Each structure stands twice: as C-alpha cells, then as structure tokens.
Structure 1
Amino acid sequence: MDLQSRLEALIAPSLDAMGYELVRVQLQGKQRLTLQIMADRKDGVMMAVDDCADISRSVSALLDVEDPISAAYTLEVSSPGIDRPLTRAKDFVAWAGFEAKMESCQPIDGRKRFRGKLLGLDEAGVNVRLVIEAAGEIAIPLADVRGAKLVLTDELIAATLKDQEE
C-alpha cells in the first residue's frame, strides 16, 4: 500500500467517527512537506474554522502515534471550498450540472485536459460524463481521472450560497 493510501486508511475512520468525510489527503512539497487534509461535514453544514481545528487536533495525535511520515511536515486541514476537487464517485454525481475541469491519465481523442459541464456518471457508474462545447459529450473512465475540480462560476457561487441559507 502506498503512503497516500495508508494515510487515507488511517485518517478516514477517525474523521468518520467525528462526523466528517475525508475528501482528499495530499502530501506536497520536496524540501518542506505539507500534509493537506480536506474534509466535509457529514450533515452537509458548511465547515467552520472550529471544525478544521478539531480535525487537526485529532489527526495530529493520530499521526504522532502511528508516525507514517518519516520526515518533518506541516499539517494543513481545510474544507474543499466552493471550487472543490472532485475526488469520489459521489462528487461527480452531486455536482452534476456545474462546470468542471478534468485531466485524464490516458488521452481521449488526443487530449488529456477537458473543461465542460459535468453530467455525472454513466448508468454503470464507471465513466464520468462531461459536455464540452466543441466536442459534445465525452465519457472519461473514472479510474483514468487524474484530477478534477469545479470551476468557480457565478452559477456555482449562487448554488452554494443558496444551500447555506437552507
């Protein structure tokens, strides 16, 4: 199991018990490592600074005991934000209808980078569907998605603000 998977397996159950969902774990940097953890509240309420602080304390204690990273690092905990990364299959479904940027591991029609309206997953749940203005609808195998995130648009901001008001 690679370090990324080990960290996810270590951190996710702790967050789950606290009422959060792990969105992404990412270890960045060469000289100065930063362990970035993104989480959402399970109840759908927007993350607050106190939520991040609670997660930071819990995960920090867990990592001190387990010590999966041999080098010194900085722990950074945040919410995914409005233009959030799409990392789980359910993210592609939940955010269907909004504009997204995606990168695939393998070229599709000679391209690896795409930007368009997210349609969600196909019926089998194995391909991400995206409408691209110039090319129409494309399907990118979920397993081949290297990275994906929502694009910050007025529509996305309005929808996010509306969700917060409810």
Structure 2
Amino acid sequence: MAESEITEQVTALAQPVLDSLGLELVDLEFKKAGRSFVLRLFIDKPGGITLDDCAEASHELSLLLDVEDCIPGRYTLEVSSPGLDRPLKKEADFLRYQGRLAVVKTQELLKDEKGSPRKTFLGTIEDVADGVVTLRLKEGPLARIPLAGIVRARLEFEL
C-alpha cells in the first residue's frame, strides 16, 4: 500500500475520533524511519492542546488503528502539537490566524503590489476571501496569494 493511501485511510479513520475529543487534525505524516515507519499526527484546539489531550488522542487512535490494521509492518504512532510555527493548510487556518505573522511559499513566482516577483512571502495575514490570502508584507506592500498556488505556509514565531 502506498504512503499516500495510508495517510488518506488514517485521516478518514482519525477524523471522527479527534472530532469526538474536540480536537482538530492539523497535519498527518507517514514516513520511513530506519527499518520501520513513523505515523505523526499534529493536533490542535482553540486555546491550544495539553499533554493530556495528546495522550488521550494517542490512546484512542492506537486502539482504532490496531483494530483496523490498515498499516502494514511496524510503525510508531506520535501525536503532538503543531508547535509555534503551525502549518496553515486550509482557508479556515488563515482566517483563524488573521493578524498573525506567516511565511507563505508558492509554486510559481507571484508579484506583490509593487510588482516585485517572488515565491516566498513573509507578512501579516490581513484577509482571506474567495480563495485568496492577503498578506501585509514586512517591507510594507500587500501580496494577494491564491490558496491553490500555495505550496507551504506556516505561522512565524514573533518575539
């Protein structure tokens, strides 16, 4: 079974469990680590998660994954917080973190409002509407970035 199939299947299984615990699945990774694999789930909730949230989610998911037996071979399950540099994947993520500093990387070169082309944008999330994220760049101009063109985005830690 391909890694992408496993991540899709695990996501479908994990989502209802996490929903019932009041937790959001932020990201899921399934990667080779030495001779086995690591299944990493990053979870969150309004106000942040605790160690107890991670432990409870890990326990529930471990039981479910053992019963469903959807991952061939050996693997380690890790459940943790997305951290201070939380990835932004969905429109709802950008909406939730309006006013926060973010780094956005695009596949194609895009121009900011001053006409400067780039693929990496660092700025404050101003708005999200009609599938477009608007950032106020650190150096001043605005950048309008289509969600569909974003390769990777994450919050940037602010001092």
Specify if TM > 0.5.
yes
Q: Is the 8 A contact 1:23 1:88 kept in 2?
A: no
Aligned length: 150
Instruction: Confirm whether residue 17 of structure 1 aligns to residue 24 of structure 2.
Output: no
Give the alignment's TM-score, normalised by structure 1.
0.79
**68-77 vs 86-95, which moves further:** 68-77
Give the alignment's TM-score, normalised by structure 2.
0.82
- Aligned match for 1:66, one of 65, 68, 71: 68
**27-36 vs 112-121, which moves further:** 27-36
- 1:116 paired residue number: 123
The CA distance in 2 between the partners of 1:3 and 1:107, in whole Å, is 32
- Aligned match for 1:132, one of 137, 140, 148: 137
Instruction: Confirm whether residue 36 of structure 1 aligns to residue 43 of structure 2.
Output: no
- 1:151 paired residue number: 156
2:120 aligned counterpart, secondary structure: strand
Evaluate the alpha carbon distance shift between residue 105 and residue 2 of structure 1 in structure 2; reply closer, same or farther with a 3 A threshold. farther
Regions of 4+ moved over 6 Å? none
Percent identity of paired positions between Structure 1 and Structure 2: 35
The CA distance in 1 between the partners of 2:108 and 2:10, in whole Å, is 26
Q: Is the 8 A contact 1:95 1:120 kept in 2?
A: no
- 1:98 paired residue number: 100
Q: 1:102 offset after TM fit, Å? A: 1.4
Structure with the higher fraction of residues in helix conformation: 1
Question: Structure 2 unaligned runs (5+)?
Answer: 112-116
Q: 1:141 offset after TM fit, Å? A: 1.6
Evaluate the alpha carbon distance shift between residue 33 and residue 16 of structure 1 in structure 2; reply closer, same or farther with a 3 A threshold. same
Evaluate the alpha carbon distance shift between residue 63 and residue 98 of structure 1 in structure 2; reply closer, same or farther with a 3 A threshold. same
1:52 aligned counterpart, secondary structure: helix
- Aligned match for 2:79, one of 77, 88, 94: 77
Q: 1:14 offset after TM fit, Å? A: 0.9
CA RMSD in angstroms comes to 2.1
Question: Structure 1 unaligned runs (5+)?
Answer: 155-166
Q: 1:60 offset after TM fit, Å? A: 0.9
